[in-house]
Structure 1
């Protein structure tokens, strides 16, 4: 049995659930040979529907335990924090249909992944930057919300937590919609039906 050489954080778990062996010869979109690229199944694959982490926080009220939820492919999505004590779920996370619907969180995150896939080397940097910015934002939001949570009880606590969840969910969707816009704009350069005019003629 393997043991970690340090205490693992929720972000380590996020990285594990998003793994496709980045930085190794076994990465399907990396620089290994074809045999190496397909030797092992990545944790995060294109058929992943969602990934989640349940974070128990003994130092906080039980309502402040967190479910981190990543819709779609972990490697191309982001883990959004949802406090456990909410009494409602954002509409974008409810009743998701099997066909594309841009008003649903799953399809927003999935669309970004589908747009990145054909040109991962060229467009992956935009995705990584968005993921990193959201990870920082969510971490800051939790620190700020936790301070208020410690001062509330009952209905006030539930209402506050429900709003924080809705705000975090919307922040993720908004940033990914900006990413999608950037990916579509940049993808137009990769069309095989293209012509570059010589402006000197």
Structure 2
């Protein structure tokens, strides 16, 4: 498997004034090259963080700083291709999601080639998240790594804390720009270079490689009269029109319908920074990152759908391995502010589960994912449901949607219950209590998921070819 096949994701970022409760929200589907690539949800304690790090899929290696922070991550259950930590929140309440694989163009790759000894998605969370205390520090750390080591791929990297969200895009082997997402805005990033106008005089909202302007000028890369990062560094290929832009189109259509009426799935001019017509909720993010163009002519699950009627890559795809919605909440003590909402396997058929991140460990059903199928693992139970339900979508979607509604409601209930029950705790006592509370949450969700799996197996068993009853004659 090539490096470029390993992750093809969709990202949603929601500023604190655009979210339902004042939280910063960053979310990303981790989509890989195969339908089954099992993931686990873990806590990495400082004593378990490597000091000398070496990648498995590239020639990248680095000596890491002392005194790492504790952090959560969703690495591969089988590490033969490396860690791939993907998404987590550290003990300073800084969240990171890495990475959104993006595209660039040939002239950029010629001027600043990718480097085999550079950092990549396999490495980025592990070598960054334990060492930062703000979203801005995350950009600064990755910028230094890119300057020293370069990268072997083009990626979007996301950081958030209680106040800010930063989206960082690499271009070529060593160049990059990062933009602070406005507090009242949201962003959808679908495997394309997204950042548009860069204001080099505005250090509050933009960061960039030291030599970015000089690099562009010396290599004659800017074909316009202003510095539009997407236009200079991005791509506008036929693949983009079928694989990337339709996802941004559908998401923007959902969040602000009136403003998107003149756009199509192939529109090249969809804005990067956008504003919703309502406050954005956890459920909104889950719906969009599970979507398959429902209520449009392009839904692959619609009755009679063919490759001709559904020519666009859905957002909710069978190759999704996990979704993390990383929430840093306001107006609660910092020790309880951070929640990682986790969904495993294909999003049209799974649910989001809230896990407090100030914990010593994660629930076994989410932590101990096996290399082979085991329905006691949250990943594999959801993968089995997805495989069966996708083949009998119309027959099973009612049961799936009922499960999703009940479990998401339970998730919000649990956040309220846990906040209330632990309002007087702090320090180690609170960490222990949140660890135990997460276990209870996971146990309930696993029981509900097992019930759905039983229903799905029963329905699918009655629909297989060769089914024969006395009614057949």
Q: TM-score, normalised by structure 2?
A: 0.40
- Which residue of structure 2 aligns with residue 55 of structure 1? 327
Post-superposition offset of 1:134: 0.4
- Which residue of structure 2 aligns with residue 103 of structure 1? 376
- In the alignment, the residues of structure 2 paired with residue 63 and residue 74 of structure 1 have an alpha-carbon distance, to the nearest angstrom, of 29
| 1:152-177 deviation per Cα after TM superposition (whole angstroms, max 9, x unaligned) | 11222112111111111121111110
Q: Which has the higher helix share?
A: 1
Q: How does 1:53-132 map to 2 (within 5 A)?
A: 53-64=325-336, 65-132=338-405
Q: Judge which range, 22-31 or 61-70, deviates more.
A: 22-31
Q: How does 1:112-191 map to 2 (within 5 A)?
A: 112-191=385-464
Residues 46/185 of structure 1: CA separation in 2 closer, same or farther (3 Å cut): same
- In the alignment, the residues of structure 2 paired with residue 73 and residue 161 of structure 1 have an alpha-carbon distance, to the nearest angstrom, of 27
| Partners of 1:112 and 1:180 within 8 A in 2 | yes
- In the alignment, the residues of structure 1 paired with residue 305 and residue 375 of structure 2 have an alpha-carbon distance, to the nearest angstrom, of 37
| Partners of 1:17 and 1:43 within 8 A in 2 | yes
| 1:105-162 deviation per Cα after TM superposition (whole angstroms, max 9, x unaligned) | 1001111111211111011111111111101111111111111232211222112111
- In the alignment, the residues of structure 1 paired with residue 368 and residue 469 of structure 2 have an alpha-carbon distance, to the nearest angstrom, of 46
Matched, 1:27 2:299: yes
Larger radius of gyration: 2
- Which residue of structure 2 aligns with residue 194 of structure 1? 467
Post-superposition offset of 1:198: 4.9
Q: Judge which range, 57-66 or 69-78, deviates more.
A: 57-66
| 1:16-43 deviation per Cα after TM superposition (whole angstroms, max 9, x unaligned) | 21111222222111247533312x2211
Post-superposition offset of 1:75: 1.4
| 1:50-92 deviation per Cα after TM superposition (whole angstroms, max 9, x unaligned) | 0111111021122321100111111111111000111111112
Q: TM-score, normalised by structure 1?
A: 0.91
Matched, 1:17 2:289: yes
Matched, 1:8 2:8: no
| Partners of 2:358 and 2:431 within 8 A in 1 | yes
Number of equivalences:
199
- Cα root mean square deviation, aligned: 1.9
- In the alignment, the residues of structure 2 paired with residue 19 and residue 198 of structure 1 have an alpha-carbon distance, to the nearest angstrom, of 38
- In the alignment, the residues of structure 2 paired with residue 106 and residue 165 of structure 1 have an alpha-carbon distance, to the nearest angstrom, of 17
| Partners of 2:335 and 2:426 within 8 A in 1 | no
| Partners of 2:325 and 2:340 within 8 A in 1 | yes
- In the alignment, the residues of structure 2 paired with residue 110 and residue 127 of structure 1 have an alpha-carbon distance, to the nearest angstrom, of 13
- In the alignment, the residues of structure 2 paired with residue 194 and residue 77 of structure 1 have an alpha-carbon distance, to the nearest angstrom, of 28
DSSP-derived class of the 1:190 partner: coil
- In the alignment, the residues of structure 1 paired with residue 298 and residue 421 of structure 2 have an alpha-carbon distance, to the nearest angstrom, of 45
- In the alignment, the residues of structure 2 paired with residue 37 and residue 164 of structure 1 have an alpha-carbon distance, to the nearest angstrom, of 43
| Partners of 2:299 and 2:305 within 8 A in 1 | no
- In the alignment, the residues of structure 1 paired with residue 428 and residue 471 of structure 2 have an alpha-carbon distance, to the nearest angstrom, of 67
Q: Which has the higher strand share?
A: 2
| Partners of 2:290 and 2:348 within 8 A in 1 | yes
User: Gaps spanning 5+ residues in structure 1: where?
Assistant: none
- In the alignment, the residues of structure 2 paired with residue 151 and residue 170 of structure 1 have an alpha-carbon distance, to the nearest angstrom, of 25
| Partners of 2:291 and 2:315 within 8 A in 1 | yes
